[in-house]
Every structure is written in structure tokens, then in C-alpha cells.
Structure 1
Amino acid sequence: MKRLSVLLGAVLLSGCGLTPMYAGGGSGAVARGLADVQVAAIEGRAGWLVRNALVDQLGAGKAGVSPKYRLDVRLDDKLEGLALLSDDTISRERRTLRARYQLVDVTSGEIVLDATAQSDAGIDVVSSDYATIAAEQTALENLSKDVASRIVTGVALRLRGDTHQ
């Protein structure tokens, strides 16, 4: 019975038009397209973290290969206090990392994709300044990876030819 339900599920899914984005693995069309993206330098510490995550996830930067696309990213990193205690000290912060990114065709200079990606995190402010600063830095590192992942997904959808994002 279990085999029949798995087979029936596979047949139904094949008829709905869904196809795996990364079909073919590292040699598939989307993976090759992502490897053809060069990531421009991004300003600041958050920019360094996001750029490194993008290069890792895209598989870009192969020596001797001229890129077809350039990814330009501008970041807005905000840290704001949210909750106040009775003595007017902040007890909770919110860190938001927002990226506006453009995928540019290197040969024509045409902007192929212009979009944004954003992620945020809550941070508890504790009595130890060191612990609070460490939490803020950890939040930035995690947000950078998340924003980079969202950017890669947007670029992959565009390279695959999906117009609905």
C-alpha cells in the first residue's frame, strides 16, 4: 500500500509542472548560471559577510572564467531598541539587514534583475555589555547568511526564467 501511494504521488507531481530548480546538480543549467555571476565588493562589515556568503553559495569566482553577470548589492543595516524597562533602559533590540541587489549583464550593461531581500532578528539586551555585543555580532552573521540565501534564490529564479518571484 505504501509503495502504491508513493508511486501515485510521483505521478501526480510530474503532471503539475513542478521541476526541481537545481536539476542536474552542479552541472545543471541553474548551477552553471549561478557560477557565471561575479559578486562586486560590498561596503562595510555586513557587506564583507554578505559577499563571502554569496560567493560561497553561488560557486562563483572560478579562475580563468569570465563572468556573464555582475551582482551589485547595497546594504542597509539597522539596530534599534524595542522594549524599555521602567528605568528607561532598553531590554530588547531588533537588527534588520536589507539588501537591494541588481543582476547586471556584463556584456550589455542591462539590468536583468532589480530586487530586495531582507531579514531581521531580535536580540535580548542583558547586563553584560560583552554578551550584548556578541549577540549583536552573531545576529549580523546569521542575517548575512540569510540575506545572501534569499539573493541567491532570487537570482536562481531569474536565471531559470521564472518571472514570478
Structure 2
Amino acid sequence: MEPQLKEIAEKTLKFLCVGSQVEGIKFYGTQLLFSETDSNKDRIDGQIYLNIESRFVLSKSEKFEFPIREEEVPDLDWIEGYKLLCELRLKKVSNVTLGEDIPHLFISFESGEILSVYGHHDKYEPWQLGVWGNSNIDEHWEVIVVPGDEIAIFAPNI
């Protein structure tokens, strides 16, 4: 992951998520829905979403060390996974960061919990965070982790 792309991706993720709350879950694929924030509501009127297509962990400590291999991350069935995500209901996002070399996604909440989404896969996109349904069609917002530990970013200047 190129350091310059990581910096742009983190800036975009923070703009979209910091200050938002988890306001829903979509059951067709694992998808968290986030509210708009005071700082982005003038530019975003669509739905901010996170597609999770890899393993994830909800931890209660910043000292949690994310495993290097996906096999080391608990493989939750859909019921266990959704129960964990439901615990985030209406919790406010305080920070969003990416892993150093692998684009793992770390979403920190004011409650002290951290949602960690595994960011490596050889063939698939482990996660995507963006906006759909934005009325300003000139502004496309999306951060996508692609195979090879790279990031594709679609975002206007912020």
C-alpha cells in the first residue's frame, strides 16, 4: 500500500465517518450504515455504508493486535457476526485508521470499542466504504481495498 494513497484514503474515511453513528445494518451481504455528520452533511445526502466481505473482530481495547493471517481471525457465522455488529447500534465513530502495510480497517468508537476488518485477499475486495444515492452526482465517494493490498479511492477534494 502506497503511503500517499493510505493518507488520502484515511482522510476520506475520516471525513465520511468521524462523528457519524451506526444507524443500521443491511442483511444482503454484511453492510453497516452510518449517519451523516455535522462536518459532511453539506456535501453528503446519500447513505454512507461499509461493505464487509472478510472476517472482522469487535474488540474493547486499543491494545488488540490484529492477526497477520486471516485464518487467525475468528470465523463467525452470520448470526454471531450480526450480533456483534448490532452492539454498535447508535455508537459514535471517533476515529478511522488503516493498517501500516495491509489495508486493515480500524473504526474506533467513543465507547472504546474498535471494529477491525481484515484487509487482505488475493482475489476479492475485503471491504468497501462509500456513499450511495448522493444527489450531487459530480461527487463520487468510495474507498475500496483491492487484491494485492492496494486501495482504490474515488473522492473529490476535501
Comparing both chains, which one has the higher relative contact order based on Cα–Cα distances under 8 Å and sequence gaps of 6 or more? 2
Look at both structures and tell me which one has the larger radius of gyration over its CA atoms.
1
The TM-score bracket by the shorter chain reads under 0.3
Higher normalized helix content (fraction of residues): 1
Q: TM-score, normalised by structure 1?
A: 0.27
Q: TM-score, normalised by structure 2?
A: 0.28
